[in-house]
């Protein structure tokens, strides 16, 4: 592993006008998404759906990399082409989710800690063999009157840092994803305080484990009001508070920040990103700000497809349109009237 390879990969992941497609849903999670549109969670259906996503003509114009789930990196498309080969043709770098999920944190009253460190070095070596260039690990932090606890923040930050160090040792860029959940009645001020504290812990642990900031990508949640908050903050406030939070916590050596959508609507997620990039021009921020959305890129694709092969092309167009709008947002060039324009 050389630092310059990590640096190059990280930079390419967040190239201006490009973002990351998260399509690393575990089998039970993709099952929930498929069920919502009346499709069975069979292997054939998962392959068909993921063939639509990655086979979308021109997707590489807006998407630098896609995060896969373990089964996908081993599978082939409906036409029998291995997914990593299709991605190479499309100019999309393969990434892989390597955590094994958020499990109950002992003695904590329902908080979660993400697992997956055991045997990770060997799994990473296998993923390198499949052509993976980067990885993802997601920690989840819930907010309520009692949460998050210091135990939860520290345990998750430590695991993220150990994961990130193992990735870099293997020549893979770690996407470090501490997600502060949107669920709850909390205000944007509480979201700000919790997100600052979460990211402080994460960068402290990354530093302690010797992780090279130049060779990683941060994937944070935005600073945003809880879904049940009676007075939800508007677009400008979300953008301002998110940038203020990042300025307090993220070292300038980190090349890029790729947000998750976290349950925001497709339009909201795009608008927030574009507004942040407009504000960033005045602030001369050191990092690229882009997207690594799952739901906010895939919602319309699933709605359009609904398991019908005759709708596959239309579903691909829906993905291309959404990816294009988010690519424009990564340059601060999105306007809501573009929603109506044809892909």
CB-CB contact of 52 with 312 (8 Å): yes
| Residue 330 touching ligand 13P (CB under 6 A) | no
**Contact between residue 18 and residue 290 where contact means Cβ atoms under 8 Å apart:** yes
Stretch in the footprint of ligand 13P (CB under 6 A) among 3-11, 192-200, 291-299, 308-316:
291-299
- Our CB check for ligand 13P shows the closer of 139 and 285 to be 139
Name which position in 83, 163, 287, 293 contacts ligand 13P (CB under 6 A).
Answer: 293
181 binds ligand 13P (CB under 6 A): no
Kindly indicate which of the ranges 70-78, 229-237, 255-263, 331-339 contains the residues binding ligand 13P, using the contact rule CB under 6 A: 255-263
Residue 294 interacts with ligand 13P (CB under 6 A): yes or no: yes
Shorter beta-carbon distance to ligand 13P: residue 155 or 181:
181
Q: Is 219 a catalytic residue?
A: yes
Note whether 260 binds ligand 13P by CB under 6 A.
yes
Q: Single out the catalytic residue among 147, 177, 179, 324.
A: 177
* Of 71 and 313, CB closest to ligand 13P: 71
Window contacting ligand 13P (CB under 6 A); options: 72-80, 111-119, 254-262, 314-322? 254-262
User: What are phi and psi for residue 312, nearest 5 degrees?
Assistant: -60, -40
- Residue from the set 152, 262, 301, 321 that interacts with ligand 13P by CB under 6 A: 262
Q: Tokens 């990885």, residue?
A: 135
Task: Check binding of 64 to ligand 13P (CB under 6 A).
Answer: no
Out of 64, 198, 261, 304, point to the residue binding ligand 13P (CB under 6 A).
261
Instruction: Report residue 169 CA to chain centroid gap.
Output: 22
Q: How far apart are CB 289 and ligand 13P at their closest, in Å?
A: 15
Q: Please enumerate in sequence order all residues whose Cβ is within 8 A of that of 242, keeping only pairs 6 or more positions apart, or say none.
A: 222, 223, 224, 272, 276
Site size toward ligand 13P (CB under 6 A) is: 10
Q: Tell me if residue 66 falls in helix, strand or coil.
A: strand
E strands, the chain, are: 19-23, 63-68, 93-97, 102-104, 112-114, 134-141, 173-180, 217-218, 256-259, 288-293
Stretch that binds ligand 13P, among 150-158, 159-167, 201-209, 258-266 (CB under 6 A): 258-266
Exposed, middle or buried, 109 (CB in 10 Å: 0-12/13-18/19+)?
exposed
HEC readout, 226-283:
CCCCCCCCCHHHHHHHHHHHHHHHCCCCCCEEEECCCCCCHHHHHHHHHHHHHHHHHH
Residues that bind ligand 13P (CB under 6 A): 22, 138, 177, 260-262, 293-296
The catalytic residue positions are 177, 219
């Amino acid at each position: 592993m050389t630092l310059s390879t990590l640096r190059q990969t990280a930079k390419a992941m967040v190239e201006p006008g490009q973002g990351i497609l998260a399509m690393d849903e575990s089998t039970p999670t993709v099952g929930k998404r498929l069920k919502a549109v009346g499709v069975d969670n069979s292997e054939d259906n998962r392959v068909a759906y993921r063939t639509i996503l990655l086979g979308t003509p021109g997707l590489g114009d807006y998407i630098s990399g896609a995060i896969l789930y373990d089964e996908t990196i081993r599978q082939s498309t409906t036409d029998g082409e291995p997914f990593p080969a299709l991605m190479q043709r499309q100019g999309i770098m393969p990434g892989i989710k390597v955590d094994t999920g958020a499990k109950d944190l002992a003695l904590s009253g329902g908080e979660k800690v993400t697992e997956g460190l055991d045997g990770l070095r060997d799994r990473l070596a296998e993923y390198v063999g499949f052509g993976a260039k980067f990885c993802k690990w997601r920690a989840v932090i819930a907010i309520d009157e009692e949460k998050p606890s210091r135990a939860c923040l520290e345990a998750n930050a430590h695991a993220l840092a150990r994961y990130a160090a193992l990735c870099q040792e293997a020549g893979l860029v770690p996407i470090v994803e501490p997600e502060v959940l949107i669920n709850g009645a909390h205000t944007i001020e509480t979201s700000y305080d919790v997100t600052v504290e979460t990211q402080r812990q994460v960068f402290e642990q990354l530093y302690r484990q010797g992780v090279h900031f130049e060779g990683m990508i941060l994937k944070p949640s935005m600073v945003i009001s809880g879904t049940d908050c009676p007075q939800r903050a508007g677009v400008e406030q979300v953008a301002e508070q998110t940038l203020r939070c990042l300025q307090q916590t993220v070292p300038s050596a980190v090349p890029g920040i790729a947000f998750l959508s976290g349950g925001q609507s497709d339009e909201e997620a795009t608008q927030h990103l574009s507004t942040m990039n407009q504000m960033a021009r005045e602030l001369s921020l050191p990092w690229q700000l882009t997207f690594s959305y799952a739901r906010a890129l895939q919602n319309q694709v699933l709605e359009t497809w609904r398991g019908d092969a005759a709708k596959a092309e239309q579903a691909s167009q829906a993905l291309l349109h959404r990816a294009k709008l988010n690519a424009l947002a990564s340059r601060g060039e999105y306007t809501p009237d573009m929603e109506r324009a044809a892909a």
